[in-house]
Structures are given as C-alpha cells and as structure tokens.
Chains A and B, each alone.
Chain A
C-alpha cells in the first residue's frame, strides 16, 4: 500500500469517525440546536413575523406601544380576544406552556428527572381534571365563546410566529393551546394564592413543640390595631387537636408546592373626598414571584362596549388588575382558609377507607410520568369524597403517618372566576362590578374598586367554606378525621364537578364596605369580628400599619392625595420592623462589646440614628436586615433542629420575634445577649462578604426558569424589604409584580418588574426593569398609539 492510499484511508477513517460521532452521540443535539443558520435555537432570532393576518372572528388591529404593550381594537369582543390571543402566543407562549405543564404534571417529559416530584404532586392533586370541569361549565356560554376565540388566536401565533428560543434549547415542540390549558393557568394562580399546607405544618409543630408554644410562635391572630376594616375587638380562640400528625418528610416535601414567603400584596382605594381631582384613586401592587419574564402581561383591549387596560396572566385573556371605561380595580390576597385536610382509617391495604358507618373505595388509577433522559415513574392517583388524596412520594413510598391524606380545596371544583373577570372588564360601574365579583369563586381576594361616578368599594371575594363537626361550625386549623365525617364542607361543594356553593359563606356575610372614605389592604387581619371563621393566619401588620399611618396623616392634613402621593406611598421604604426592634437595638448598644472589633461594617449604634429607610445606598439598612435574620436564626434555629422539625421549617415571623418577652425561653432568658451575638455575627458577615451598603445585598434576582445568565435579568440594586410597603424579598425573589396607581384624571401609571415580552431577543424583554428597580412608573393611558403593527382581516384560516 503506497503512502497516498494510506493517507486516503486515514482521512476516510477520520471523516467517517467524525461524522459518525456528530450524528450518533450527544454532539448531534448541540449541532441540531446551535448550528448557525439551521440551529433550532436561532429561529427566534432570525425568523420574521407576519403583520397581515386572517381572523375567523372579524377584523382587528394591534398597535404595540413604546414598552411593547399591545393595544388591541376590534369590531366585536371575540375578534378582540382572538387578536389578543395572538399577542399572548407571540409574546409569552413558552411561559404559558410551562404553566400548563407544571400544573397538569407533565414537566418531566421535557425537563427530565428534576421535576418528577412536581409532576407527582400535581398529578395527585389532579388540577387538570378541575380545569376540565371548569371548562365544561363555561363551554357554550358567552365567556366560553370568548375563551375559544382567544385560544384560536394563541394557536394562530403558535403556527405563524417563530418558535420561542426555549423550545429550541429544550428540544420539544409547543402543543396546541386549549381552553382547559387557559383554565389550568387560572388554577395555578389560585393555587399559588390559596394552596397552603399551613395546617399540616402547625399540626407537626404542635406535635413537636406543644400546642401552646405553637400558638405563641405561629399565632392565627396577631395582636395589633390595624386590620383592614378597623374597629371592634379581636378574639384569640384556642385550637383543637388533630386527627393525625403528618410525618416531617411529607411536610417538607409539600413545602415545595405552595406559596412561598413574601407572597402578598398592597392595595387601597381613596374616595374623591380626599383627592385633588375629586375622583377616587385605586392603588395596587400584588407581591408575587418575580421572574423573567414577569408573571403578568400588560394589555389594552378595546371593543364596541368596553375599553380595558391592565395586566392579565399569560394564558388567560382578561385584565385581572386594571382600569376600564368606567372603573378601576385591584386585588390582594385575603388569606382565607379554603383548604382542609382529612385523615382516614384505611382498609383493604389502602384501597378503601372507613366513612361514616360504612366503607368506601378510593377512586384510584395508575398514571405514568414520562421522564426525558430517565426512567418513567408510575404513581397512583386517588380521590375520596373530599377531593384529592395525597398518598405517596414519587419513589412509591407511602407517608409514614396520615398515609392517605384527603385534600379539599375550593379550586378542585368548577369555578366561575374567568367569567367574573370578563364581566369586570365589561362593567359599567360599581353595580356591574359587584355583580361580577359575586361569581369570583377563587382565589379568595380583597378587591378594591372605584368608578367614575365616585363610588368606592372594598369586599372579600371567593368561596369560603363553612366546615362543621357534629353540626357546629369549626375552624379549619386542624387535620380532620375524614372517616368520621369531621370538618366537611357545605353540601354545595363538588370536587372535580360543578358546585352550587350552598353552605359556603354568603357574599353579604363576607367582610366589606360600600363607599368607604379609604381602605388599605396589605394581607393583614381583615376584621376583628368576622361573621364566620375566615383564615388560619395573616401577614404581620408592618405594611398595613404604615399604609394607614400615612393615609390617616394625609387625610387629616390640608393636603389632598394626588396620584403622585400614592405612587410615593406605594414605593415607601420605611421598615415597620425598625420601631418594633428599636428597644432591642438600644439594649445591644447599651451592652457594648462591638466598639473596637476592627470591622468595617457599621456599628450597632448607627441604627439608633437611622430613619428606617431600606434604600440601596443605606449602610444601616444592610446591618438591620442582616442582624434581624441572624437574631431570628439564633432564637429558633437550634431549638427547632433539636425538636426534630425538618430543616428549613419556616421560622416565626418578625412580628412574633419582636413581641416575645425579653426573658422568653427562646432567648434562654437573656434576649440582649442573643441580640448582641446576632449583631456581631451580622457585622462579621457584612465584612466577609465585602458589602458596603444595602444595595450590595438587596438586589433583583429574577431568574428565568432555565436559570441561564443570559436569560436572567440584570441584578440591579433596589429598595424595600419584607417589612416595608415596598415589599421585597431578595433571596426568595418576591415583591411587587405590578405597581399601579389608577386615577380618573388621566394620570394612571404603572410598571412591570422586567418587560412585557417573554422573547429574549425582543427590545421589551427587560425594558422596564430599571424603572421598577428605581421606583419609577410609565403611563397607563388608554389612548391608542400611532401606527398599526398587526392587521387582522375577517377570513377563514
């Protein structure tokens, strides 16, 4: 064989091996995704979008403004929402799809083994069946028809627009959007706001710490003077015993599927009596998970009988918080208890359960969770008379205690929330709005509303169960004996079916007030004397108290409240915890011990001259926050671990910490010593981290679900804390997911934490982030911008 032949043979071998390696190994995936020109990832960067489209529902136009907010105008409601569906599909398709997959329990088939736990939980809760029941109720109604038009618009965009980058990265294709998917998104929001395992956590805490201690550390009612509706005397009733104690592993596992810390909101409505314009003003900033892209989508929809601007959840067509041609409204979480848990005496090896005088079989089926790049997992999905049944971890192991745990949640039933929100968008004033809110079945919310006739309104919305034992109403603060029929809800509740809501708290008996001067809500206790049991617990009163302090002071002054005042109040960064903890700081300073430690961190004494403002340039704010965190951990950390509570078991809130007696056992009888040690620890941490001011730590950390640096937002410093009206939790990444101050004099303004587009390549991916971080706003005008971007012409697709 000559050299030439050898060379050719060698080259052939190299080429063959190379091409084979590319085609038959993991390399192929990278080439499919990232090759220039043909890579699936680049379609979103290089693809073009049509601007002339057909719509089976009639003509419509879309004008995008300078912040990528679509202004949709059409000749009828369905044409409007078809075009809007197109906008949702063009700007947020992947996010919507992710919500659907998470809620239905189909993440692992595209994400892999990391989400098997999530899928197992969501399948066992069977939210998808609840969404299907909700759609069965809506189908064929006017609202159902509008939802179908919206869904068709989403699917039009799915086919006509470049496929979002994320699909290329994960290598899967978007499935058709459906009405059930829309209702799954609505269920997700409801679950995020009312799906709480607080009952289980408290049951575990009662077992490990004792009932009295648990009530001390996790009080259902905190003693303060500023509920939403002020006046009256609060009652502090004790708690009954549990039918079972959940195992610690279960409580820990479920913590991953419920509301995180910082989920809450502010809202207030002020009547024209106190405003410069003489018209009411509504302010609302819902505090939710802060992510890239934002949880909300801003939109302006104009039809023949309505003109509505505000924010919607991508996947659900209607403005949830905003302003229309006649009124403006906002929501905060009411914290009502709409979930209960039931333990059973099981029989037949767990296939059945005792119920009353007989035995019932669980309605059960086996489902397979498909796992990309891993082994499929089989789980059992069960139902009881109460609703869902949580029965196993994804690995097949049953729970050590309360091994079949029944769950009743209002959202497991068919609910009318989407219809209510649509009617709110169409409403011509307070009477219409109230009629719409009566159908707002979930989640339980504080709604504030004002109209252009000068009416103001506050009410608690959502279906609230009345549970009973032996015919007597009881609180939902314990695990009930499901086999004995304890704690059951009114006969009108039908999980996975249509509920009549008979036996639930009537609308008139929920807390509320028509035409108040002003009302402020911040997830604090709703009222001192409710007609019915409402909640298992509320947020600490720091934000609510600050809101009322400033509103009261302004109302009593000669200055009126214009929109600028409310924007300033919405971004108020004075920490209410400063007042509560100031005496403890004084004790620490008086005890001395940190004067000559050579650290650069600010001294404890600096906190005594500080104004309590949690702003990024403040050194004192940095020390205060770090000290509080260290102080709480020193008070409870070791003791909780010794009590065999799961790692990361939620600590008591700062209100509880600040109101414990100085000689409490949690301080081993010497609060000053614990606080001083925490101060030293905080200062050392500040030095070792190299932080100079609060903004070095208190940063935007809004992550994309893929947590890739290029998809995550820039980590800008910002103001706020868990104790300020400007509520912000930097590590949990929760805070104002939308800031809106709506007036009737044309001065409505708002801002999103990020941008309106979920497309990384868009100019509007993060163009509001700096505004948000700096506490600034942009106009929320309902005037249409110049220039049409999309034109829909009536025609078949």
Chain B
C-alpha cells in the first residue's frame, strides 16, 4: 500500500472527525439521490455512508441510519403527494417497500468490512 493509495486516503479520512462527518453528509445526499434512480442505489447508499466510518460496526450502523432515512424520505414523499394513507393500506406492497428501504442500505454497508 502506498501513502497515496485510495485505501490509505480513506484511512486518513476516517481518522479526521470533521472530514469523516463531511464525507458522511455528502454520502447521505448522494445516497438518497441514487435511491431514487434504482434499487441498486440503495445498496450504493449504504456502502457510501459506511465507508467513512471508523469501524465495521459503525459502518453497519450508518447503513441502518441510511435505511431509516430512506424510509422516512419515502413516507414524506407520499405524505406530500397526499397518498400516504392509501399506500399504507396496501398491506404487503407497502411493507415490502419499507423492508427494502431499510435493509438494502444495511446490506450495502457491509462493504465496510471489506474496504
């Protein structure tokens, strides 16, 4: 590993609290945007918020937070559109959406255990 390798840069970022928080904030915004495009964006969102974290555990926690934010954002989107009640009344489809929103970022965040 060289001093300028991406892994080394990531390690440096993780040690610096300010840079780590800034990277996490960018990852959250980017992750939310990716999640609106395709479901793989939810995996990427989890990975993005997990990578700046100092440990695998914190990474997965960040992925969980990302999932929670995705779900809250989705519900807010429905609320603004005035369709929250009928969507929740759908039963299985809406539970599936909430489950996917919560779990895919967590799954993506496991990449923190590799990088």
Partner-B contacts on A (CB < 8 A): 7-8, 11-12, 14-15, 18-19, 22-23, 30-32, 34-39, 41-42, 45-48, 709-710, 760-761, 765
Given contacts A8-B114, A15-B114, A761-B86, contact A30 B96 (CB under 8 A): yes
Q: Which one of A7, A23, A41, A760 contacts B86 once the chains associate, using CB atoms below 8 Å?
A: A760
In the complex, given contacts A34-B93, A46-B83, A710-B91, what are 13 additional A-B residue pairs having Cβ atoms less than 8 angstroms apart? A11-B110, A12-B114, A34-B96, A35-B100, A36-B100, A37-B41, A37-B74, A37-B101, A42-B78, A42-B87, A46-B81, A47-B81, A761-B87
**Which chain A residues border B101 with CB–CB below 8 Å?**
35-37
Q: Is B38 among interface residues, defined by CB-CB distance under 8 A?
A: yes
- The winner among A11, A15, A37 for most chain B CB atoms within 10 A is A37
Q: Is B35 among interface residues, defined by CB-CB distance under 8 A?
A: yes
Query: Given the complex of chains A and B, what is the CA–CA distance between A230 and B86 in angstroms?
Result: 52
Nearest-Cβ distance from residue B45 to partner chain A, whole angstroms: 10
**Which chain B residues border A19 with CB–CB below 8 Å?**
43
Query: Given the complex of chains A and B, what is the CA–CA distance between A589 and B95 in angstroms?
Result: 55
Identify the closest chain A residue to B33 (Cβ): A37
Contact present for B97 and A761 (CB under 8 Å): no
Q: Is B58 among interface residues, defined by CB-CB distance under 8 A?
A: no
Which parts of B56-95 form the interface with A (CB within 8 Å)?
A: 70-71, 73-74, 77-78, 81, 83, 86-87, 89-91, 93
Contact present for B91 and A38 (CB under 8 Å): no
**Which chain B residues border A34 with CB–CB below 8 Å?**
93, 96-97, 100
**Which chain B residues border A41 with CB–CB below 8 Å?**
93
Identify the closest chain A residue to B99 (Cβ): A34
Contact present for A710 and B39 (CB under 8 Å): no
Q: Is B98 among interface residues, defined by CB-CB distance under 8 A?
A: yes
Nearest-Cβ distance from residue A111 to partner chain B, whole angstroms: 18
- 5 A-B residue pairs with Cβ-Cβ distance under 8 Å, sorted by A, are A12-B114, A34-B93, A39-B100, A42-B87, A42-B97
Contact present for A39 and B97 (CB under 8 Å): yes
Q: Give the 6 A-B residue pairs with the shortest CB-CB distance, closest first.
A: A36-B74, A35-B39, A36-B101, A31-B39, A45-B83, A11-B113
Query: Given the complex of chains A and B, what is the CA–CA distance between A39 and B100 in angstroms?
Result: 10
Given contacts A8-B114, A19-B43, contact A38 B37 (CB under 8 A): yes
**Which chain A residues border B110 with CB–CB below 8 Å?**
11, 14-15
**Which chain A residues border B81 with CB–CB below 8 Å?**
45-48, 761
Contact present for B35 and A38 (CB under 8 Å): yes
Contact present for B98 and A36 (CB under 8 Å): yes
Nearest-Cβ distance from residue A45 to partner chain B, whole angstroms: 4
Q: Which one of A12, A18, A30, A761 contacts B107 once the chains associate, using CB atoms below 8 Å?
A: A18
**Which chain A residues border B93 with CB–CB below 8 Å?**
34, 41, 710
Q: Is B23 among interface residues, defined by CB-CB distance under 8 A?
A: no
Q: Is B10 among interface residues, defined by CB-CB distance under 8 A?
A: no
Q: Is B28 among interface residues, defined by CB-CB distance under 8 A?
A: no
**Which chain B residues border A48 with CB–CB below 8 Å?**
81
Contact present for A710 and B73 (CB under 8 Å): no
Q: Is B48 among interface residues, defined by CB-CB distance under 8 A?
A: no
Query: Given the complex of chains A and B, what is the CA–CA distance between A41 and B74 in angstroms?
Result: 13
Q: Is B36 among interface residues, defined by CB-CB distance under 8 A?
A: yes
Query: Given the complex of chains A and B, what is the CA–CA distance between A38 and B38 in angstroms?
Result: 5
Query: Given the complex of chains A and B, what is the CA–CA distance between A46 and B74 in angstroms?
Result: 9
Nearest-Cβ distance from residue A35 to partner chain B, whole angstroms: 4
**Which chain A residues border B40 with CB–CB below 8 Å?**
23
Nearest-Cβ distance from residue A669 to partner chain B, whole angstroms: 55
Identify the closest chain B residue to A19 (Cβ): B43
Q: Is B27 among interface residues, defined by CB-CB distance under 8 A?
A: no
**Which chain B residues border A710 with CB–CB below 8 Å?**
86, 89-91, 93
Identify the closest chain B residue to A12 (Cβ): B114
**Which chain B residues border A38 with CB–CB below 8 Å?**
35-39, 41
Q: Which one of A12, A15, A35, A765 contacts B97 once the chains associate, using CB atoms below 8 Å?
A: A35
Given contacts A15-B110, A35-B42, A37-B70, contact A46 B91 (CB under 8 A): no
Query: Given the complex of chains A and B, what is the CA–CA distance between A38 and B39 in angstroms?
Result: 6
Q: Is B111 among interface residues, defined by CB-CB distance under 8 A?
A: yes
Contact present for A36 and B35 (CB under 8 Å): yes
Query: Given the complex of chains A and B, what is the CA–CA distance between A39 and B104 in angstroms?
Result: 13
Query: Given the complex of chains A and B, what is the CA–CA distance between A348 and B16 in angstroms?
Result: 89
**Which chain B residues border A7 with CB–CB below 8 Å?**
113
Nearest-Cβ distance from residue A229 to partner chain B, whole angstroms: 49
Identify the closest chain A residue to B107 (Cβ): A18
Identify the closest chain B residue to A15 (Cβ): B110
Query: Given the complex of chains A and B, what is the CA–CA distance between A32 and B38 in angstroms?
Result: 8
- The winner among B43, B93, B111 for most chain A CB atoms within 10 A is B93
**Which chain A residues border B89 with CB–CB below 8 Å?**
710
**Which chain A residues border B38 with CB–CB below 8 Å?**
35, 38
Nearest-Cβ distance from residue A765 to partner chain B, whole angstroms: 8
Contact present for A46 and B78 (CB under 8 Å): yes
Identify the closest chain B residue to A765 (Cβ): B86
**Which chain A residues border B42 with CB–CB below 8 Å?**
35, 37
Identify the closest chain B residue to A30 (Cβ): B96
Query: Given the complex of chains A and B, what is the CA–CA distance between A7 and B110 in angstroms?
Result: 11
Contact present for B73 and A37 (CB under 8 Å): yes
Q: Which one of A12, A22, A36 contacts B70 once the chains associate, using CB atoms below 8 Å?
A: A36
Nearest-Cβ distance from residue B43 to partner chain A, whole angstroms: 7
Identify the closest chain A residue to B87 (Cβ): A45
Nearest-Cβ distance from residue A704 to partner chain B, whole angstroms: 12
Nearest-Cβ distance from residue B70 to partner chain A, whole angstroms: 6
